[in-house]
Amino acid sequence: MPALTLDHVVIAVYDLDAATEDYTNVLGRAPSWRGEHPKYGTRNTLFRIDNTYVELLALSGAQGDKRWSGELQRFLEQRGEGLYALALGTPDIRSTVNEMRENGLEVMDPADGHGIDLATGAERAWRNAMVAPKGTNGVRLFFIQHLAPPEALAVAAPVDDEACVRRMDHAVILSADMEAARRVWSDVLGVRLALDRTFPDRNTRILFYRLADITIEISGGSAQSREGIGKADRFFGLAWGVDSIEKMCARLTAAGVETSGPRPGIKPGTLVATVKGPATHGVATLLIEHTPQSFEADARQPQRGAVDNAPQQRAFTATGLDHISVTTPDLIGTVMRWASTLNLPVTQTHDLPGEGRVARIPAGNAYIALTQPAEASDIAAAMADRGQGMHAVAITVDNIDEAVRDLRVKGVEVTDPTAGRDPGTRIARVSRAATNGVPLILIQHD
């Protein structure tokens, strides 16, 4: 399949003239094109920069194809101004659409489009194909193949050559369902995943996808919440490469656009500044200046405790929580308390020779084992020592023999695997010296 590029980004705006003036300030460039789409019922302003172009899109008030103007109107009414769509460029839209359909994406048939520059009368033509947002985790995408040569859209002339945006660095999408986003971008769109990194101290995981020299950054929580599954992704913002953050900030300030001022970026060797206020029309906007240092190998290492999520070769995997053992001298009383207080009823009780009587309380992904220890049992001794209540944790592993061997290699004391209390299980107990005092049981279900 032809490699995709980020052909352009579309920003939905209410007032095209005001937005054009603001983006002329923000980008430091005069528009390349001010035109209209008679077929769609929309007007636009384009700014071509080195590696992509920006389209400000507004309703024209004229009658057009409701599939375009109606959707833009709904977006503006429901979400307000902001990033509206990404246009993925292809040199062969027919084969791209076919390939995407084979990958399960719902894509409209390619359709001809054309635009007219109101100032010069110049025309440009293209073919594009909209993607159904339900197949892209809610992000609006379309494929585009330009029929006009690239020079038909001139590079936007700098207002100040030392203080203008040169290129797009990255576009940011927020995701509550990172695995769904990964499936869309890796498996369906086939874009190269350059980095999958977790920042624990920021509760953030990022996926970096590369469309030529532009990065699509998908940012989500470091752990997948159940509530986030199936939620739609959202556009967040754009980051622009500049030659001099200092000169950009000075020019913007003089033009009445508020910035955060220069500061070091997260990536070593970068300087960044945020553009604030209404001038960006709902698009979070970051300016980035790369120095030569930012391209060195050190700058590619994880920063500030970040962890790359490349699959590691491990001897075993801890796959989940099996149960938590809670002790009580009065099983019936405690069972009633759990049922009446937390609405968690017991489903099964049984005697364990030498250990005591156990009541099992299912709790979704694990169960609570309320345990009344037998006299003179180890559990009774632990209860006497630490008091009744929290006692032990059992976690499931995929291969208990490998887990025991691996823990021992790493100096952790652990018992040989033996048959567990449930049929088809084998367990091993890890020394409390290694586990911060937690009686820890490894369990493998056949």
Partner 1 sequence: MLTKVHHVGVVVRDIDASMRFWRDILGLPLHKLQAIEEQGVKAALLTLGDSEVELLEPVVTDNGIARYLERKGEGLHHICFQSDDVERDLTALKFKGVEMIDQQTRIGIAGRICFLHPSAMDGALIELCQPLDEYGALHPVSFGDSDRGAG
By the rule CB under 8 A, 427 interacts with partner 1: no
The torsion angle over the Cα atoms of residues 292, 295, 298 and 301, rounded to 10 degrees, is 150
Among positions 16, 316, 426, 429, the unique one binding partner 1 when judged by CB under 8 A:
316
Amino acid letter, residue 187: D
By the rule CB under 8 A, 438 interacts with partner 1: yes
Residue 333 Cβ, how far from partner 1 at the closest point, in Å?
7
**Within 123-182, which residues bind partner 1 (CB under 8 A)?**
170, 172, 174, 176
By the rule CB under 8 A, 267 interacts with partner 1: yes
Among positions 125, 147, 307, 381, the unique one binding partner 1 when judged by CB under 8 A:
307
CA 265, 210, 284, 239 dihedral sign is positive
Among positions 201, 256, 297, 424, the unique one binding partner 1 when judged by CB under 8 A:
201
Is the CB of 101 or the CB of 263 nearer to partner 1?
263
Task: Quote the tokens at residue 170.
Answer: 């990255």
Residue 439 Cβ, how far from partner 1 at the closest point, in Å?
7
Is the CB of 130 or the CB of 394 nearer to partner 1?
394
Among positions 4, 144, 181, 368, the unique one binding partner 1 when judged by CB under 8 A:
368
Is the CB of 99 or the CB of 196 nearer to partner 1?
196
Stretch that binds partner 1, among 123-131, 138-146, 341-349, 373-381 (CB under 8 A): 341-349
**Within 25-84, which residues bind partner 1 (CB under 8 A)?**
82
By the rule CB under 8 A, 320 interacts with partner 1: yes
What is the SS3 assignment for 166? strand
Is the CB of 12 or the CB of 129 nearer to partner 1?
12
Is the CB of 39 or the CB of 290 nearer to partner 1?
290
By the rule CB under 8 A, 217 interacts with partner 1: yes
**Within 276-295, which residues bind partner 1 (CB under 8 A)?**
276, 280, 282-286
Burial class (CB in 10 A: 0-12, 13-18, 19+), 31: buried
**β-pair partners for 237:** 172, 284
Is the CB of 84 or the CB of 338 nearer to partner 1?
338
- CA–CA separation, 242 vs 248, rounded Å? 8
- CA–CA separation, 265 vs 271, rounded Å? 5
The 228-247 site mask, x for binding partner 1 (CB under 8 A), equals x--x--x-xx-x--------
Task: Quote the tokens at residue 100.
Answer: 């995407």
Amino acid letter, residue 284: A
Stretch that binds partner 1, among 64-72, 87-95, 103-111, 221-229 (CB under 8 A): 221-229
What is the SS3 assignment for 202? helix
Number of residues located near partner 1, criterion CB under 8 A: 94
Is the CB of 107 or the CB of 275 nearer to partner 1?
275
By the rule CB under 8 A, 4 interacts with partner 1: no
- CA–CA separation, 11 vs 19, rounded Å? 10
Task: Quote the tokens at residue 302.
Answer: 């994880």
Residue 6 Cβ, how far from partner 1 at the closest point, in Å?
16
- CA–CA separation, 107 vs 142, rounded Å? 8
By the rule CB under 8 A, 18 interacts with partner 1: no
- The Cα-based distances of 88 to 93, 108, 123, 435 in angstroms read 10, 14, 21, 50
Would you say how long the chain is, in residues? 446
By the rule CB under 8 A, 405 interacts with partner 1: no
By the rule CB under 8 A, 311 interacts with partner 1: no
Residue 55: phi and psi, rounded to 5, are -120, 120
By the rule CB under 8 A, 296 interacts with partner 1: no
- Cβ–Cβ under 8 Å, residues 271 and 291: yes
By the rule CB under 8 A, 408 interacts with partner 1: no
Is the CB of 189 or the CB of 382 nearer to partner 1?
382
Other CB atoms closer than 10 Å to residue 337's CB: what's the count?
13
- CA–CA separation, 11 vs 283, rounded Å? 8
Stretch that binds partner 1, among 68-76, 87-95, 101-109, 199-207 (CB under 8 A): 199-207
- Cβ–Cβ under 8 Å, residues 33 and 127: no
Among positions 111, 122, 154, 434, the unique one binding partner 1 when judged by CB under 8 A:
434
Amino acid letter, residue 435: T
Give residues with Cβ within 8 angstroms of 151, minimum separation 6: none
- CA–CA separation, 72 vs 371, rounded Å? 61
By the rule CB under 8 A, 204 interacts with partner 1: yes
**β-pair partners for 388:** none
By the rule CB under 8 A, 392 interacts with partner 1: yes
Residue 229 Cβ, how far from partner 1 at the closest point, in Å?
9
CA angle (194, 198, 204) in 5-degree steps: 115
Is the CB of 205 or the CB of 429 nearer to partner 1?
205
